[in-house]
Structure 1
C-alpha cells in the first residue's frame, strides 16, 4: 500500500544504496577489494534492518490505516540499535583498511562519513537518541584515527552531525505536535459533550416551561379575567396548580401520571406536600425509576398526614425518603408529630420501613 511512510522508507533505502555504490567506484585501485565488499554488505544490511525492522505488535497494527499524526515512527528495537552501533564501529575501520593508506582521503574512500551519518539519522528518527549520538562518537573517533579530525570535518563530518541534530529537533517537534493534537482532540470531545449536555438541559427546560404554562396558564387566565377576585373553588384550583408547578420544577424525575394523581389527591384532601430532588437518581435507568415511582405513588395514596415531605438525595441504599407529619407546624426533630417515615430503597438495595 502506497503511503507517506512507505515512500520515505523507499527514499531512504535508495539513498543508502547510493552511498554504498559510491564505495564501489574506486574498487580497482584499492588494496583489498574483498574487505571493501564485505564492509559495504555490512553497511547496507545494517542500514536496511534499521529502516525496515519493527516490533511484532507494531507490524500487526501497521496493516490498519491510521491518520498520519497518530502514527509517528516506531521505536527501533534494541537489537537493531545495537546492530547500528556495530556498523558505526566496523565500517570506517573496514573501509580504511581495505582501501589502503594512500587513498584514504579520496571521495570513494570517505563515503562512510555520510553513510554512517545517514544511518544514525535513521536511528534518531526511530527514537533511539542515545544510540544515535553514540554512533556519531564512534564515527568521529574513527575519522580522527584514520584521516584526522580536521580533514574529516572538511569531508562531511559536520554535515553528518547536522543531520543527526536536525533529526532530533524534528522528532521533538513531531512529538510535541502529536501531543498537542491529542490534547486538542480531547478538548474538542469535552466541548462537544458539554454542548450536548447543555442542549439536553435546554430541551428539558423548554419542556418544563411548556408544562408550567400548561398548568398555570388556565389559572392565570381566570385570575386576570376576574381581576384577582377568586371564589373558593378558584383559590383551590390556584393552590393545586401552584403545587403541580412546584413538583414539576423541583422533582421532575420522581413524577409520572400515577405520582401526579396521588399528589393531587393528597392536596385535595388538605395535605401540604413539599417535594425536593437533590440528586441521587441520575444514574438510574427507566425501569428502576418506574419501580421507585410506583412505590412512591402507593406511599402517598396510603398516607393520612397533614404535611408530606418527599426528598431524594445521593445515598447508597435509599432512593427516596417520605416523611409525614400530623401537624402543619412544629419542627422536624419532634418525633411525636411524625406519623409516616418511608424509605424507598434503590434497586437491589433494602431499606427498613419505620
Structure 2
C-alpha cells in the first residue's frame, strides 16, 4: 500500500468492547488448545509461552495505533507463527500422529489476516511462509502435507490481502472526503460567526453614532454638550478597536463618566487576557471600574499586558500623585512592589 490513511481501527470498530471481547475469546482458545496439547508434550512452559506469544500479538493488533501499523510491532507480529510453532514443535513428539500440535498455525493465520487489513501485507505473507517452513521442516511431514497446510491457511491471509488492496483505497477516499467536509463546515461556521459579529458591530455603531450623525447632517451648529458627546463617542469607538477585552458595559460606563469629569483615559490591549476565564475577566473589569471611580482629574492608563507577564493588567493613575495597580492572572490585585508595564 502507498500513502497513509487515518487509523482504520475506527472504521472496523477495533476500539470497541466487542473487539476486546473477541480478543478475550481468542486468548481463551489459545489456553484451551495449549492445555489440550499438554499431555503429549515433554515440557509445559513452551506451550504456555507459545500461547502467550499469540495472545500478545492479538492484543497488539487491536491496541497499537497508527495506519499502516508501525513497522516495529508489525515485524514482531510477523514472527508470531515462527516463534509459537517452533516452541510447540520443540516439545511434542515428531513425526506427529495427528495435526493437533499445529494449533498455533491456525491461530497465527488470524494475526496475519488482520495484519493485511492494517496495511502490512508483505510482512503478513512473510510471517505465513516462515511459519509453514518451520512446520514442514520440524514436523517431519511430507512436502504434500506442507503444501496442503499452506493452501488451507493462506486463504484467510489472501482475503485480508484483497481487502487491503481494494477496500483500503476506498477508506482513504472516505476519510479524505470527511476531512474536506469538516474543513468546509468549520470555514462556514467561522464565516457565519464573522458576519454575525460584523452585523452586531454595525448595529452597535448605528445605535451610538446615528443620532449625532443626523444632528451633524442637519447643518445646525453643535453646542458644547454635543461637541463633548462627539468626543466621547470617538473615544469609545477607539477603545472598542484598541482594547476589546476591556469593552465591558459597566467598565465603559465608568470610563465615559471619568472622561466627562475631565480625566484622560487611555485603554490598551496587548492580548494578555485573551485566554482568561470569563470570571477572571469580570473580576478585572470590575476592579478597573472601581479604580476609575476614585479618579477626579489627571490621567489613567489601563493596559492589558502581553501574555507571559507576572501581571495581566496594569492601571497607572497620574495626577497630583502617581499610583499604579496590577492584577495577576487570577484577576486579583497583586500585593507588594509592582513592575514596569513596558
TM-score tier by shorter-chain length is 0.5 to 0.7
TM-score of the pair, normalised by structure 1: 0.55
Q: Secondary structure at the match of 1:317?
A: coil
Q: Please, which runs of 5 or more residues in structure 2 have no aligned partner?
A: 1-17, 26-38, 41-46, 68-75, 116-122
Q: Please, which runs of 5 or more residues in structure 1 have no aligned partner?
A: 11-37, 40-45, 63-68, 70-74, 100-110, 327-336
1:274 aligned residue? 266
TM-score of the pair, normalised by structure 2: 0.56
State how far apart, in whole Å, the 2-side matches of 1:252 and 1:4 are. 51
The 5-angstrom pairing of residues 133-172 of structure 1 reads: 133-141=129-137, 146-148=141-143, 156=148, 159=151, 163=155, 166=158, 169=161
1:25 aligned residue? none
**TM-aligned CA distance change 1:167 to 1:321, over 3 Å:** same
**TM-aligned CA distance change 1:116 to 1:307, over 3 Å:** closer
**TM-aligned CA distance change 1:222 to 1:182, over 3 Å:** same
1:346 aligned residue? 329
Contact preservation (8 Å) 2:268, 2:303? yes
2:230 to 215, 230, 238: 238
Larger gyration radius, structure 1 or structure 2: 1
1:298 aligned residue? 290
The 5-angstrom pairing of residues 19-168 of structure 1 reads: 82-86=83-87, 93-95=94-96, 98=97, 119-125=107-113, 129=124, 132-141=128-137, 146-148=141-143, 156=148, 159=151, 163=155, 166=158
Contact preservation (8 Å) 1:88, 1:116? no
The 5-angstrom pairing of residues 169-208 of structure 1 reads: 169=161, 199-200=192-193, 202-208=195-201
Q: Secondary structure at the match of 2:312?
A: strand
2:314 aligned residue? 321
- The Cα of 1:263 is off from its aligned counterpart by 1.1
2:204 aligned residue? 211
**TM-aligned CA distance change 1:81 to 1:303, over 3 Å:** farther
State how far apart, in whole Å, the 2-side matches of 1:116 and 1:276 are. 72
State how far apart, in whole Å, the 1-side matches of 2:161 and 2:333 are. 59
Contact preservation (8 Å) 1:251, 1:275? yes
**TM-aligned CA distance change 1:187 to 1:303, over 3 Å:** farther
Q: How many residues align?
A: 282
**TM-aligned CA distance change 1:117 to 1:170, over 3 Å:** farther
The answer as to 2:255 corresponding to 1:263 is yes
1:34 aligned residue? none
- The Cα of 1:312 is off from its aligned counterpart by 0.6
